[in-house]
């Protein structure tokens, strides 16, 4: 946006943009073939020197149009382009946070560096204080101000985050990861044995309620114990 628009944001206390930097960096300086001072060339050089764009990414020393140097934190967007939604987060414009990605990147950009010739910033969120941004490319996650994006669910037992397809519902309704899931369904009534939801009679011999049941000599036996009795 133009200088007047940037100053308007700053007067309103909005100092940082979070989103794909391609939406706010000056188009004429984003990518220029064989120009080491364009944004993309400087980014890849900084990434090589600072160890890559995972985690907290890198700090790019970016010269504004007037020569002033500002710090821009840049990370990879796990999986590339798309949208990262944070349903529990609201930015300082009062808007739900949804970060669109078109160049495979996420960044914290000072408002002074939003020099693209648009009327306003778009595709990201606006903040008064510098937020925190971290990505996990292996886990395919983004964390903004400590909040994980909506692509993962939180386990109700251990608090870990995983894909919805990797979770199960406990008998009490809590969604938990496979590692924490410990409900054992009774083969007769279908209620949970582990959490004492089932009131069925247990195996006379071993106390187990799971698996097939057999009646013998007036008692209930599981498959293993009834075989032992028959022997």
DSSP-derived secondary structure for 59-82: EEEEE-TTS-EEEEEEEE-TTSSE
Whether the model clears a pTM of 0.95, i.e. scores above it, the answer is: no
Do 59 and 71 contact (CB within 8 A), yes or no?
yes
Which pLDDT score is estimated for 225? Answer: 82
For residue 62 the two structure tokens come to 């970016």
Rounded Cα–Cα distance for residues 150 and 72 (Å): 25
Confidence of residue 29 (pLDDT cuts 50, 70, 90): very high
Q: Strands 16-19 and 105-110: what pairing?
A: antiparallel
Instruction: Tell whether the model's pLDDT for residue 231 goes beyond 60.
Output: no
Do 56 and 73 contact (CB within 8 A), yes or no?
yes
Which pLDDT score is estimated for 113? Answer: 96
Which pLDDT score is estimated for 206? Answer: 79
Across the chain, mean pLDDT equals 85
For 50, the enclosing helix (H) or strand (E) is helix 39-50
The ranges assigned to domains in the chain are 3-151, 161-230
Phi, psi angles (nearest 5°) of residue 140: 55, 55
% of the chain beyond a pLDDT of 90: 55
Instruction: Tell whether the model's pLDDT for residue 78 goes beyond 90.
Output: yes
Q: What is the pLDDT of residues 159-185, one digit of tens each?
A: 677 666 666 766 666 766 657 666 666
Confidence of residue 200 (pLDDT cuts 50, 70, 90): confident
Within its chain, how far is the Cα of 73 from the centroid? Answer: 18
Q: What is the pLDDT of residues 84-136, one digit of tens each?
A: 999 999 999 999 999 999 999 999 999 999 998 876 778 899 999 999 999 99
Which pLDDT score is estimated for 97? Answer: 97
Which pLDDT score is estimated for 72? Answer: 98
Comparing CA positions, the residue from 39, 98, 100 lying closest to residue 74 is 39
């Amino acid at each position: 946006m133009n200088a007047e628009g940037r100053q308007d944001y700053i007067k309103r206390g909005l100092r940082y943009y979070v989103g794909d930097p391609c939406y706010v960096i000056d188009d004429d300086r984003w990518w220029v073939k064989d120009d080491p001072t364009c944004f993309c060339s400087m980014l890849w050089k900084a990434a090589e020197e600072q160890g890559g764009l995972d985690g907290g990414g890198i700090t790019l020393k970016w010269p504004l149009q007037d020569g002033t140097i500002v710090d821009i934190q840049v990370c990879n967007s796990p999986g590339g382009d798309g949208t990262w939604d944070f349903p529990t987060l609201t930015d300082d414009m009062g808007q739900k946070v949804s970060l669109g990605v078109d160049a495979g990147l996420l960044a914290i950009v000072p408002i002074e560096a939003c020099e693209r010739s648009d009327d306003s910033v778009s595709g990201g969120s606006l903040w008064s204080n510098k937020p925190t941004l971290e990505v996990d490319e292996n886990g395919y996650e983004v964390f903004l101000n400590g909040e994980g994006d909506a692509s993962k669910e939180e386990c109700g037992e251990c608090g870990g985050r995983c894909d919805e397809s990797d979770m199960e519902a406990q008998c009490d309704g809590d969604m938990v990861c496979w590692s924490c899931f410990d409900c054992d369904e009774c083969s007769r009534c279908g209620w949970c044995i582990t959490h004492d939801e089932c009131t069925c009679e247990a195996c006379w011999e071993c106390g187990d309620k799971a698996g097939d049941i057999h009646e013998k000599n007036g008692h209930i036996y599981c498959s293993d114990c009834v075989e032992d009795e028959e022997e």
